[in-house]
Amino acid sequence: MTFTQWFIFFLILQVIHFLGTWKLYIKAGRQAWEAAIPVYNAVILMKIINRPWWWIILLFIPIVNLLMFPVIWVETIRSFGKNSRLDTVLVILTLGLYIFYVNYVVDVEYIDDRSLKPRTVAGEWISSIVFAIIAATLVHTYVMQPYTIPSSSLEKTLLIGDFLFVSKFHYGARVPMTTVALPMVHDTIPKTKSKSYLFDDRIDKKDTSWKNKLQLPYMRLPGFQKIKRNDIVVFNQPADTLLDMNDFYPDRNYYKPIDKKTNLVKRCVAIAGDSLEIRDGYIYINGKRTTYNDRAKIQYNFNVNTGGEAISPAALANRYNVREGGRMQDGNYYLTLTDDEAALLAKNPIVKSITKTMQPKGRDGGVFPQVPSLGWNTDNFGPIYIPKKGETVKLTKESLPFYKRLISEYEHNDLIVNGDEILINGKDADSYTFRQDYYWMMGDNRQNSLDARRWGYVPFDHVVGKPVLIWMSWEGMSPRWERFFTTVGGDGKPVSYFKWFIGLLVLWFVFDFVRKKRKDNK
Which pLDDT score is estimated for 483?
A: 92
User: Which residues are bridge partners to 197 per DSSP?
Assistant: 181
- In the predicted structure, residue 350 carries a pLDDT above the cut 90: yes
- Lowest-pLDDT range, 63-77, 104-118, 303-317? 104-118
Percentage of the chain surpassing pLDDT 90? 72
pLDDT of res. 522:
65
pLDDT over threshold 70, residue 413: yes
Strand order in the sheet with 427-428: 415-418, 421-424, 427-428
Q: Report whether 116 contacts 50 (CB < 8 A).
A: yes
Give the residue-averaged pLDDT of 14-42. 93
Residue from 468, 467, 465, 488 nearest 141 by CA: 465
Is the per-residue pLDDT at 473 higher than 70? yes
Q: Indicate the average pLDDT of the chain.
A: 91
Beta strands 333-338 and 325-327, pairing class: antiparallel
Q: DSSP letter string over 268-314?
A: EEE-TT-EEEEETTEEEETTEE----TT---EEEEEEE-TT----HH
Task: Give me the mean pLDDT over the 508-521 stretch.
Answer: 82
Cβ atoms of 299 and 445 closer than 8 Å: yes
User: pLDDT per residue over 190-223, tens digit each?
Assistant: 887 788 999 999 988 888 899 999 999 999 999 9
Task: Kindly report, residue by residue over 71-109, the tens digit of the pLDDT.
Answer: 999 999 999 999 888 999 999 999 999 999 999 998 999
Neighbours of 148 (CB within 10 A): 13
Stronger pLDDT, 85 or 441, i.e. the higher one = 441
| Alpha carbons 249 and 109: distance in angstroms, whole number | 61
Of 117-126, 145-154, 248-257, 412-421, the least confident: 117-126
Which residues, in sequence order, are CB contacts of 314 under 8 Å at separation 6+? none
What is the DSSP track for 111-180? -TT---S-SSHHHHHHHHHHHHHHHHHHHHHHTEEEEE--SSTTTTTS-TTEEEEEESSSS-PBPPS--S
Q: Is 80 exceeded by the pLDDT of residue 248?
A: no
Confidence of residue 254 (pLDDT cuts 50, 70, 90): confident
Q: Report whether 342 contacts 331 (CB < 8 A).
A: no
- Tell me the C-alpha distance between 302 and 289, whole Å: 21
* pLDDT: which is higher, 515 or 327: 327
Please determine, for residue 410, whether its predicted confidence score (pLDDT) is greater than 90.
yes
Report d(CA 151, CA 173) in Å as an integer. 25
* pLDDT tens by residue, 165-197: 999 999 999 999 999 998 888 888 888 778 899
**Can you tell me the distance from the alpha carbon of 452 to that of 268, in angstroms, rounded to the nearest whole number?**
10
pLDDT at 325 over 80: yes
Q: Examine the pLDDT at 424 and tell me if it is beyond 80.
A: yes
Tell me the CA distances in angstroms from 260 to 189, 192, 240, 255, 362, one per residue in order: 12, 16, 9, 10, 37
